[in-house]
Structure 1
Amino acid sequence: MVTLMLRDLRLALSGGGAATGLVFFLALVVTMPFGIGPDLNLLSRIGPAILWIGALLSTLLSLDRLFQADRDDGTLEGLLVGPLPLPLVVLAKCAALWCATCLPLVAAAPVLGLFLAVEPPALLAVTATLLVGSPALVLIGAVGAAVAVSLPRGGVLVSVLVLPLVIPVLIFGVTATSGAVSDPAPFTAPFLILIALTLFFGVLGPVAAAFALRAAGD
């Protein structure tokens, strides 16, 4: 499992896929103030939501590469019949994708938040919520990527399938961030729910994705 994770991580970093999401995240955040205007109060208020939406869209861009490359070169068939249980294969690939794609977004969020005049407490809250919530985005996306792996032009379909399912993660991530700015007390409940969503999909996502991969292989 660790070997598979390191292999996928090495391929993601060497192929430039990790940089694509980060560049998209940067472009979205930098151009947003030009579209909204110079109102710093407005930017500060909606900045955390913009960071979360940018991280979500950047993650969606990378989901089509989760299984497609392995299917194209025949590696996926070997993984299907290999000794490692398929849910663990999916979990390892999700962990590699999160390290290569989402972890740089989490690290860049506090810096890019300065472009949106986000206050320091909100920057810390955005970083914390992205750290615990972004794995759920990848785990949910793995199910959509597994469903679309055998379909032509499956990348668009992955986004269509996954986007409605990740809305709760987005809602609780933004709610927790807003709670940290307005009052420390409301931050705890949505933050814990965000952790619960990640743990829930950490169990359900690999199993559902493995079932979809088995169905696609048949």
Structure 2
Amino acid sequence: MSEKIYDLLYVEDEIDVRGHYVEYLERFFRNVYEAANAKEALEVYKNKKPAILIVDINLPDKSGIEFLQEIRKYDQTTKAIMLTANSDVQTLLNATELKLTKYLVKPVSRADLKEAIALAQEELSNYTVVANKIVKMKDSFCWDKKKQVLLHGNEQQHLTKKERELLTLLFSDINRIFSVDDIVYELWYDSNIYGDNALKTLIKGLRKKLPEGSIKNIFGVGYKIEI
């Protein structure tokens, strides 16, 4: 099992079962958050952005499937493990939008659970997955690549024309460091008003609208987006 570098959210309404598994899961994760229902789970998810979710299919307010469907509307990267009964398996197989790493039929043995979380951690460490349309950021922020809008939760954030153009450029290749010359050419190629401080001023203002550390300055090279 890898070192403790990921956070996990465990969603289960039975308090004794939840407490038992949270204690076990703390061996493998940096932080283990817990929730008793979908409403609590959504709040924890938005505030803590865990890398892995373990969700019981039967929750008191809405099903684990409905909870994950809500998450998948704007997040295709967080890993999800579903705890289910035999009778639910076909339903899960039909719910392809859930993008489950694994489903485990209850009662779940520790060996099966350990194998499932190891698989989720391996997927996280070996693959960088970015949604085609929505990129999840910290603190419940998302960038809609298709619409070119910044969202905080479900609320669209105001951006100036240049702020939108800069984010569109940075999110076009998340792993790339864009040089100052690259950015200037893309944003001001048809204008004579670009000054030495225009880009710095633009980035300073945009940083106030984003989670801390979202735009990283690589000294002597340029800028990149951090999610």
Common fold: TM-score over 0.5: no
TM-score by length of 2: 0.24
TM-score, structure 1 normalization: 0.25
Higher helix share: 1
Larger radius of gyration: 2
Structure with more contact order per residue of length (Cα contacts < 8 Å, sep ≥ 6)? 1
